[in-house]
Amino acid sequence: MKKQYYLFFLTACIAASCSSKKDASFTDKINETLKASANQYEYLGTRNPDGRFPKSYHVKNDSLETSDSGWWCSGFYPGTLLYLNEANANPILKKAADKSLEDLKKEQFNKTTHDLGFMMYCSYGNAERLYPNADYELVLINSAKSLATRYNAVAKCIQSWDSAPWNHATQDEMPVIIDNMMNLELLFWASKYSGDKTFYDIAVNHANTTMKNHFRADYSSYHEVVYNKNTGAVVRQITNQGAADASAWARGQAWGLYGYVVMYRETKDKKYLEQAQHIAGFILNHPNLPADKIPYWDFNAPGIPDALRDSSAAAIIASALIELGSYSDKELSKKYHADANVILKSLMALEYFSAPHTNGGFLLKHGVGNMPNKTEIDTPLSYGDYYFIEALMRYKKAGL
């Protein structure tokens, strides 16, 4: 009996040791990747024109694609710089982040976009979290007030784009895209900071309306839902960036997953946790999800398995899964964290992670911005980098 017990104890110790070494090896890889990413973003900073925000990169002519502060992606560059400086203190990156924040500051009063969460919370939200001060808080509360002006009390959701032929909405209609779930985090911050429940209520109403009208029976999501401004009725359920109205655009599924994880975090309402778990189930159990778990740009893309992948969608999914795992039961938590591990391992491999001073200074290769519009195809994307670094930081902090 003693001999059997000893053998069992020895086997258990060896298994635990192997698991520990495996976990340590993955953590080491994350640390190496964070350091390499900091060096890469130092290089990106040398290429980025003053007052501009990196969007993507054109391989053919070795040139950056940049934007002004009003573009929806403008917050990701300073946000990534802040994450990288948090991981490993780097005065060059911190200085670049501060300069970029100053260039972005005026957008706090921009009422023409629903993307102020992306623009201002990914940037100033991280700045306020790391270096709390009244200036950052004022920018964030003003940004939330600007975002709240786009709320339609009849439809009970926040209008995304302004009505236009290209988004299939007349002047009496309002388009709402699944991406908008990502902008609610700013409103929750504003409600906690100000004590004004109006921001909270807008976020909850938008999430509830989206849950009702954006999702199909299998928990896949339409990209765009068009509402009648005056009655709140659903006019049409379509796509703008997906393969077809009935398809599951990969990044759209990622936005929905991440957004409902945030909803549960901020409200502790279990219906949002269940919604996030259902969305995760659709993504992770989909027959068209490749073994490395980097999704095709649309789960129903034509040409699978030769269709392009979208590394940005993968990064968003990984970041969301890590947080979702912390709210789920033991079995689901283990699955979500294991799947996030596979995604991050894939993204840190040479197929997706850039060699030093290549890819224009961006981190991830093989992102897909807008396939139907033929823009940003098989290229780096600033938001892919942002959520990739966020996912690495979350994985490391969770001690997985």
Q: Mind telling me the catalytic residues?
A: 115, 179
288-to-110, 163, 238 alpha-carbon distances in Å:
39, 34, 21
Rg (CA), the chain: 21
Exposed/middle/buried for 165, CB within 10 Å: 0-12, 13-18, 19+?
exposed
Residue 169 DSSP class: -
232-to-157, 180, 236, 331 alpha-carbon distances in Å:
9, 17, 12, 40
Q: Are 368 and 312 in contact (CB under 8 A)?
A: yes
What is the Cα–Cα distance from 309 to 305, expressed in whole angstroms? 10
Tell me which long-range contacts 305-311 makes (C-beta under 8 A, separation of at least 24). Answer: 308/366, 308/368, 308/371, 308/377, 308/378, 309/366, 309/368, 310/250, 310/251, 310/366, 310/367, 310/368, 311/347, 311/352, 311/364, 311/365, 311/366, 311/367, 311/381, 311/384, 311/388
Alpha-carbon 330 to chain mean position: 25
Q: Are 177 and 160 in contact (CB under 8 A)?
A: yes
Closest-CA residue to 128 (of 142, 119, 138): 138
What is the Cα–Cα distance from 26 to 90, expressed in whole angstroms? 23
Q: Are 342 and 292 in contact (CB under 8 A)?
A: yes
E strands present in the chain:
53-58, 63-67, 151-152, 157-158, 173-177, 224-228, 234-238, 367-370, 375-379
- Which are the contacts of 74, defined by CB distance < 8 A and separation ≥ 6? 53, 67, 68, 104, 107, 119, 123
